């Protein structure tokens, strides 16, 4: 049976060291340890410190382990938004976060551009409390220029800024000091099984949730941000967490630190360049995002001239599992993951094949 390589945009190919780390987890009985034990507290502290080192997160920011990035949307709306948030939407996942806000009956506003187009302005209403930006829109392969996010910080120093980095970190460089909170899940760039989200917050977020509490706003219960902090300060979680997921994340982060974030990011850029050049050469594919600055380096999306069924089948014959388009683009596009687990050699072979289609 031919071994398959998964270029799907999440879940994706499992990081190549995970098999060995799983064996170590069994040998150390990681799945059986108490989340109140010193063993877990040491694990929590080590993974948090290594993550902050890999991503270059400022010392005074905290890291929490949640079930998923979707849950973090809910935690952000509950803990950090009293009445209003503003959402820059260019794709389905940014749209879903906005929908979470409206489901909570917030008076949230939106700047929505046509899929694949850049935002022509970054203004937000004066009463906005939190600004949401999706750094890398997995659904259509749109990358929000990080410099424009830093510009938002300069324009609105008194508003919270939240960044979705689900399919970006650590493959895309980012200055976390320019935002108040950021988050991701592990089944994309970290090459891990789904079921773990990581939430990064700064001290301003605690001030906000305290302010909301004093004004009578319900900010959640078990996963209220202050509850997470009370547990996190002891290197614990409020409930029994995904201990195996945290252990594996820590191991993969160590592997990535050995390579260095800069090398991972440089390799990501090189591989993305190959993929886009190959798509440009293809007679049946073309890039969906035409502005190069907005072309995702980690989720490369191409339009298919006559639908994607034939080319997906051809890829599969080579042992490559490629992602379909998302949502309304399900049958008309392909999405190719370019994550740290995907080697330069694999991408070179895939690119060579694409250029000849």
Report the alpha-carbon distance of residue 205 to residue 189 in Å, rounded. Answer: 26
Report the alpha-carbon distance of residue 307 to residue 194 in Å, rounded. Answer: 29
Q: What pLDDT does 17 receive?
A: 97
Residue 2 confidence class, pLDDT cut points 50, 70, 90:
low
Q: What pLDDT does 293 receive?
A: 95
Distances (CA, A) of 57 to 128, 170, 178, 179: 25, 11, 11, 11
In the predicted structure, residue 1 carries a pLDDT above the cut 70? no
pLDDT tens figures, 89-133? 999 999 999 999 999 999 999 999 988 889 989 999 999 999 999
In the predicted structure, residue 54 carries a pLDDT above the cut 50? yes
pLDDT tens figures, 199-219? 999 999 999 999 999 999 988
Q: What pLDDT does 193 receive?
A: 96
Sheet holding 181-185, edge to edge: 62-66, 197-201, 181-185, 160-164, 130-134, 85-89, 109-112
Report the alpha-carbon distance of residue 261 to residue 258 in Å, rounded. Answer: 9
pLDDT tens figures, 164-190? 999 999 999 999 999 999 999 999 999
Q: Could you tell me the pTM of the whole model?
A: 0.95
Contact 298, 339 (CB under 8 A): yes
Of all residues in the chain, the percent with pLDDT exceeding 90 is 95
**Residue spans of alpha helices (H) in the chain:** 18-27, 38-55, 69-80, 92-103, 146-155, 203-214, 225-232, 243-259, 261-281, 309-317, 344-355
């Amino acid at each position: 049976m031919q071994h398959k390589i998964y270029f799907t945009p999440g879940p994706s190919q499992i990081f190549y060291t995970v098999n060995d780390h799983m064996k170590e987890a069994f040998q150390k009985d990681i799945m059986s340890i108490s989340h109140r034990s010193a063993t877990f507290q040491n694990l929590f502290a080590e993974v948090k410190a290594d993550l902050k080192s890999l991503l270059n997160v400022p010392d005074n920011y905290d890291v929490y382990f949640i079930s998923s990035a979707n849950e973090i949307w809910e935690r952000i709306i509950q803990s950090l938004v009293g009445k209003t948030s503003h959402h820059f939407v260019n794709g389905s996942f940014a749209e879903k976060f906005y929908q979470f806000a409206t489901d909570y009956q917030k008076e949230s506003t939106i700047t929505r551009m046509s899929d694949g187009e850049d935002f022509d302005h970054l203004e937000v209403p004066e009463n906005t409390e939190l600004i949401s930006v999706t750094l890398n829109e997995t659904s259509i392969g749109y990358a929000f220029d990080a410099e424009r996010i830093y510009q938002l910080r300069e324009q609105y120093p008194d508003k919270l800024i939240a960044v979705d980095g689900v399919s970006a970190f650590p493959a895309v460089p980012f200055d976390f000091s320019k935002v108040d909170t950021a988050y991701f899940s592990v089944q994309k760039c970290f090459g891990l099984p789904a079921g773990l989200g990581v939430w990064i917050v700064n001290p301003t977020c605690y001030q906000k949730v305290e302010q909301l509490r004093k004004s009578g706003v319900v900010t959640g219960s078990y996963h209220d941000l202050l509850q997470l902090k009370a547990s996190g300060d002891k290197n614990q979680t409020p409930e029994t967490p995904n201990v195996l997921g945290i252990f594996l994340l820590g191991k993969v982060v160590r592997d990535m630190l050995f390579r260095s974030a800069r090398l991972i990011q440089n390799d990501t850029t090189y591989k993305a360049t190959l993929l886009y050049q190959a798509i440009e050469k293809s007679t049946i594919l073309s890039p969906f995002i035409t502005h190069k600055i907005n072309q995702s380096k980690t989720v490369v999306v191409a339009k298919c001239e006559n639908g994607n069924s034939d080319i997906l089948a051809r890829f599969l014959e080579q042992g490559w599992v490629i992602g379909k388009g998302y949502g309304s683009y399900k049958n008309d596009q392909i999405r190719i993951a370019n994550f740290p687990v995907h080697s330069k050699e694999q991408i070179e072979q895939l690119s060579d094949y694409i250029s000849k289609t």
